Structure 1
Amino acid sequence: MEVSNIKQVINIDERLTARINELLSHYPEDKKKSALLPVLHEVQDAHDNWLSVELQDRVAEILGIQPIEVYEVVTFYTMFNQQPIGKYMFEFCRTSCCAVRGAEDLMEYTCTKLGVKEGEVTPDGMFRVVGVECLGACGYAPMMQLGDYYKEHLTKEKIDAIIEDCRAGKVDLHKQAITE
């Protein structure tokens, strides 16, 4: 799949606009750029968990900054996706503790079960499996991140159950923000 040929529908609706304005209200008027990270998170969540160049340009316009300032952030942080990733991205920790506890084998098992290679999206657009650097949960190895949640002490059986729950629509990817 060539990313440059993929067109993303940009939908900055009333709900997203209100959320962006609420985020901007936490910063001085002349410091809108300070809201870049939270705005990118909100915009990515509202757009199938990825940010096309056109969408990044729109964020720059909203914040009154240069597009390159958005590109620099999006390309630096691995939490921002620059291509479609599927609805569920399984991010397996592959550093020392997880590797010793079998994370690589579990990642390979998951890829085989889903019929993809690492980094590919399943044909139905549901799943992507990737290896990532340390997720900081060594005591719970092997583990992976799914949305905002860690899935810990993984086994093949736990992975099977997670995949089934995802297919059944039982997996919430995002923690609910606590607002005052």
Structure 2
Amino acid sequence: MEHQQTCSSVDIAEADEKLEKVKHAIEQFKLMKGALIPVLHEVQDIYGFLPEPVLQVVSEELNLPLSEIYGVASFYHFFSLTPKGEHVIHVCMGTACYIKGAQAVLDRLSTELKVPVQGTTEDNKFTLEATRCLGACGLAPVMTIGEKVHGRLVPNAVPKIINEYK
């Protein structure tokens, strides 16, 4: 029982520390025109996504309706309202990649990771996303894992690539 109290007090302290960082960011950008986007960037840097309770704090502190904040957060692809895995995999589904077999690569990733597209693995290790274009058409089909580009993919290469990140 005592261990549980210690863990939860650590969790609460960490949550309080993160919220203080958010409030500091709000103060830093509050008077700036268009403060919402930099504040949302800070929130996402701190939490890894945009948690609803924190967006409520942002709403109150910036005196903006929550609906406006959600509108901005859902409009820009770089904001996420759900937690992401440690490694985010983007599979290009642009024309060149699609024609050269990106769907089969995406399907193999989904099977290997046991996760649907736009989903995150149970262990929070991977998030699998389909994207419009990664701008590497000459390497089609292509995917990125974090900042690393993997090109000229075939479905059978997927297990080896995934194992590099486990």
Instruction: Pick the structure with greater CA Rg.
Output: 2
| Partner residue, 1:35 | 35
Q: Does the C-alpha gap of structure 1 residues 30 and 117 become closer, same or farther in structure 2, counting only changes over 3 Å?
A: closer
Q: Within 5 A, what are the aligned runs for 1:151-170?
A: 151-155=149-153, 159-160=158-159, 162-167=161-166
Task: Give the Cα–Cα distance (whole angstroms) in 2 for the partners of residues 71 and 54 of structure 1.
Answer: 12
Q: Within 5 A, what are the aligned runs for 1:90-105?
A: 90-105=89-104
Shift of 1:89: 2.1
| Partner residue, 2:44 | 44
The answer as to whether partners of 2:19 and 2:54 remain within 8 angstroms in 1 is no
Task: Give the Cα–Cα distance (whole angstroms) in 2 for the partners of residues 39 and 63 of structure 1.
Answer: 10
Shift of 1:66: 2.5
Deviations 1:12-67 (A, max 9, x none): 244x5555555x2xx8x252xx13223212211211x2212222222233434222
Task: Give the Cα–Cα distance (whole angstroms) in 2 for the partners of residues 50 and 137 of structure 1.
Answer: 27
Tell me how large the CA RMSD over aligned residues is.
Answer: 2.8
Shift of 1:146: 3.5
Task: Give the Cα–Cα distance (whole angstroms) in 2 for the partners of residues 40 and 151 of structure 1.
Answer: 27
Find the residue that maps to 1:80 and give its secondary structure. coil
Q: Within 5 A, what are the aligned runs for 1:58-97?
A: 58-97=57-96
Q: Does the C-alpha gap of structure 1 residues 13 and 160 become closer, same or farther in structure 2, counting only changes over 3 Å?
A: farther
- Structure with bigger helix share is 2
Shift of 1:71: 0.9
Structure 2 length-normalised TM:
0.72
Aligned residues: 150
Deviations 1:82-123 (A, max 9, x none): 122322221211120111222211111211211222233212
Range moving further from structure 2, 113-122 or 70-79 = 113-122
Q: Does the C-alpha gap of structure 1 residues 123 and 72 become closer, same or farther in structure 2, counting only changes over 3 Å?
A: same
The answer as to whether partners of 2:143 and 2:149 remain within 8 angstroms in 1 is yes
Deviations 1:129-177 (A, max 9, x none): 1212223332332222434x2514153576445433432xxxxxxxxxx
Find the residue that maps to 1:41 and give its secondary structure. helix
The answer as to whether partners of 1:90 and 1:129 remain within 8 angstroms in 2 is yes
The answer as to whether partners of 1:140 and 1:153 remain within 8 angstroms in 2 is yes
Q: Does 2:146 correspond to 1:141? A: no
Consecutive unaligned residues of structure 2, counting only runs of 5 or more, are 1-14
The answer as to whether partners of 1:141 and 1:152 remain within 8 angstroms in 2 is no
Identical counterparts, % of pairs: 31
